[in-house]
């Protein structure tokens, strides 16, 4: 059956073993070219290079802290007595290939925040943060603030109106090639809101954000922000002077964030990083799938190891698992060297993806997924009598309203927490 985000359990277990819980991604800032100290000019380009770090994001730090990271790099550049850059700000994302979207992803939903472009150079989860102001009167145009605000690179068409009641959800859409993002829908009066919308080329997004901070701090940049996705390899800067190297949060924190928040970026970055380590080539979906499959079959000795997993996050409509696959994975992964970490990262009732779905006192851990016609949950519980139970429920193709179907599934799961109690079947 189509499992949705349950796929992330398989990605998490493989990444903890193949990359290690202490693995860290790196992001480098430097320059290519020559500095004329007298003219205070860099004849060349500023270069950003990374191998997939997803943690330069407002999901890991505040917007102010993220801006402070950028300004720290601006300071490193200004320390070189640079006040003018004749070239561009270039993002080198060649550690991964340029396939931004996984096989079988729902391309009709491009622009939705849960479908970010996947790159080796990532910034702010590759999304815009959009914060709407409170407005008291209905029928007015909603006003908002966009972070990061990078001007001409983005075209944001806001068609949201205030309304007494929320009749139309806000839906973000982006053209398939480019950064024209539009949104329509309602904002209830006297209500502030925070949304996200996915951008196109993450490397250029990062480069434009850094370029904007350079300009705002008195450094003139004559070229545009660009990335290796649109610049030929032979035109990319070959020799770079590194000014700063930032290490990401450890992989254990990245896996934790992935499972607690159903984050596709982390899942796909981990998949490509596993592939890159396995074959020494640019990270890609195919090599990542192979590395994960090899781990599940040869190292985890998973019976009937699944082969029909096409991405790391479960966004692909091609993914297929059986309930038995998921049970076997949870049981065996929990017994491995990093099993205690794996277990601790699966959200407890009331946390992360389970917030608002189960009372925080319920003795269960689980990941969940929900999309059109698909509801699934997988995890474990321990009843007061001490009976431990792994459970998986997957529903495909349901015509029942999502709220009703979800409520039925939750009642079944809560029943499992009472197995073995007196008077309970």
Among the candidates 196, 220, 247, a domain finishes at 247
Whether residue 270 is contained in a domain is answered as yes
B/e letters for 388-414, b = 16+ CB within 10 Å, e = fewer, are eebbbbbbeeeeeeeeebbeebbeebe
How much is the pLDDT for 265?
97
Whether residue 11 is contained in a domain is answered as yes
Q: Does 42 lie in the same domain as 8?
A: no
* Angle in degrees, CA 199, 252, 297, rounded to 5: 95
Model pTM score = 0.94
Domain with 92, as residue range(s), is: 26-247
Q: Does 44 lie in the same domain as 154?
A: yes
| pLDDT tens, position by position, 118-129 | 999 999 999 999
Q: Does 30 lie in the same domain as 17?
A: no
**What is the DSSP code string of 108-121?**
GGTTBTTS----SS
Helices (H), 295-421: 323-333, 339-345, 402-416
- Give the CATH number, domain containing residue 94: 3.50.80.20
Q: Does 224 lie in the same domain as 293?
A: no
How much is the pLDDT for 166?
86
Whether residue 424 is contained in a domain is answered as no
Number of domains the chain is built from = 2
- φ, ψ for residue 151, nearest 5 deg: 55, -120
Instruction: Give the helix/strand (H/E) hosting 146.
Output: strand 144-147
Cα–Cα distance for residue pair 287/241, rounded to 1 Å: 31
Of 96, 109, 78, 88, whose CA–CA distance to 25 is shortest? 96
Whether residue 423 is contained in a domain is answered as no
Q: 26 vs 238, which has greater pLDDT?
A: 26
pLDDT higher than threshold 80 for residue 383: no
How much is the pLDDT for 388?
82
| pLDDT tens, position by position, 135-178 | 989 999 999 999 998 877 888 999 999 999 888 999 999 987 88
pLDDT band at 418 (very low <50, low <70, confident <90, very high): confident
Q: How many CB atoms lie within 10 A of CB 7?
A: 28
Whether residue 66 is contained in a domain is answered as yes
Q: Does 168 lie in the same domain as 52?
A: yes
When the pLDDT of each residue in the chain is averaged and rounded to a whole number, the result is 93
Whether residue 425 is contained in a domain is answered as no
Q: Does 112 lie in the same domain as 94?
A: yes
- Give the CATH number, domain containing residue 270: 3.40.710.10
Q: What is the mean pLDDT of residues 318-331?
A: 96
Helices (H), 148-240: 202-216
Q: Does 268 lie in the same domain as 225?
A: no
Of 146, 153, 150, whose CA–CA distance to 179 is shortest? 153
pLDDT band at 424 (very low <50, low <70, confident <90, very high): low
Whether residue 291 is contained in a domain is answered as yes
Whether residue 230 is contained in a domain is answered as yes
Q: Does 170 lie in the same domain as 76?
A: yes
Among the candidates 212, 247, 282, a domain finishes at 247
Q: Does 230 lie in the same domain as 278?
A: no
Among the candidates 247, 270, 305, a domain finishes at 247
| pLDDT tens, position by position, 264-313 | 999 999 999 999 999 999 999 999 999 999 999 998 999 888 889 999 99
In Å, how far from its chain's centre is CA 42?
34
Q: Does 93 lie in the same domain as 8?
A: no
Q: Does 291 lie in the same domain as 364?
A: yes
Assess contact for 331 and 311: CB atoms under 8 A: no
Q: Does 105 lie in the same domain as 228?
A: yes
């Amino acid at each position: 059956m189509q499992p949705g985000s349950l796929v992330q359990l398989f990605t998490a277990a493989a990444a903890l073993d193949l990359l290690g819980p202490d693995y860290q991604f790196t992001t480098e800032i430097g320059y290519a070219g020559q500095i004329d100290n007298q003219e205070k000019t860099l004849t060349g380009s500023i270069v950003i290079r990374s191998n997939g770090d997803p943690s330069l994001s407002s999901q890991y730090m505040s917007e102010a802290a993220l801006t402070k990271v950028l300004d720290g790099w601006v300071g490193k550049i200004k320390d070189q007595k640079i006040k003018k850059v004749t070239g561009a700000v270039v993002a080198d994302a060649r550690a991964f290939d340029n396939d931004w979207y996984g096989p079988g992803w729902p391309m009709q939903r491009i622009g939705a925040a849960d479908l970010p472009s996947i790159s080796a150079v990532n910034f702010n989860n590759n999304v815009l943060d959009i914060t709407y102001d409170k407005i008291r009167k209905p029928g007015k145009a909603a006003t908002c603030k966009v972070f990061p605000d990078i001007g001409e690179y983005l075209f944001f068409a806001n068609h949201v109106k205030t309304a007494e009641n929320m009749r139309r959800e806000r839906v973000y859409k982006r053209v398939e090639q480019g950064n024209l993002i539009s949104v329509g829908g309602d904002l209830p009066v006297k209500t502030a809101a925070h949304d996200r919308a996915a951008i196109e080329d993450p490397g250029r997004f990062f480069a434009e954000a850094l370029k904007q901070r350079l300009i705002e701090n008195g450094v003139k940049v004559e070229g545009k922000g660009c990335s290796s996705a649109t610049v030929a390899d032979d035109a990319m800067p070959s020799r770079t002077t590194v000014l700063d190297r930032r290490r990401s949060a450890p992989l254990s924190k990245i896996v934790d964030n992935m499972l607690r928040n159903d984050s596709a970026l982390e899942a796909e970055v981990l998949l490509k990083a596993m592939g890159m380590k396995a074959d020494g080539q640019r990270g890609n979906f195919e090599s990542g799938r192979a590395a994960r499959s090899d781990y599940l079959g040869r190292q985890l000795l998973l019976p009937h190891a699944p082969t029909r997993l096409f991405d790391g996050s479960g966004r692909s409509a091609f993914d297929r698992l059986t309930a038995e696959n998921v049970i076997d994975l949870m049981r065996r992964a929990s017994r491995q060297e990093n099993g205690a970490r794996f277990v601790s990262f699966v959200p407890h009732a009331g946390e992360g993806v389970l917030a608002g779905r189960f009372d925080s006192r319920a003795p269960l851990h689980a990941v969940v997924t929900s999309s059109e016609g698909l509801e699934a949950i997988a995890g474990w519980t321990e009843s007061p009598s001490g009976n431990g139970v792994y459970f998986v429920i997957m529903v495909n193709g349901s015509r029942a309203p999502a709220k009703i179907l979800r409520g039925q599934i939750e009642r079944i799961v809560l029943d499992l927490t009472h197995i073995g109690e007196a008077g309970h079947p």
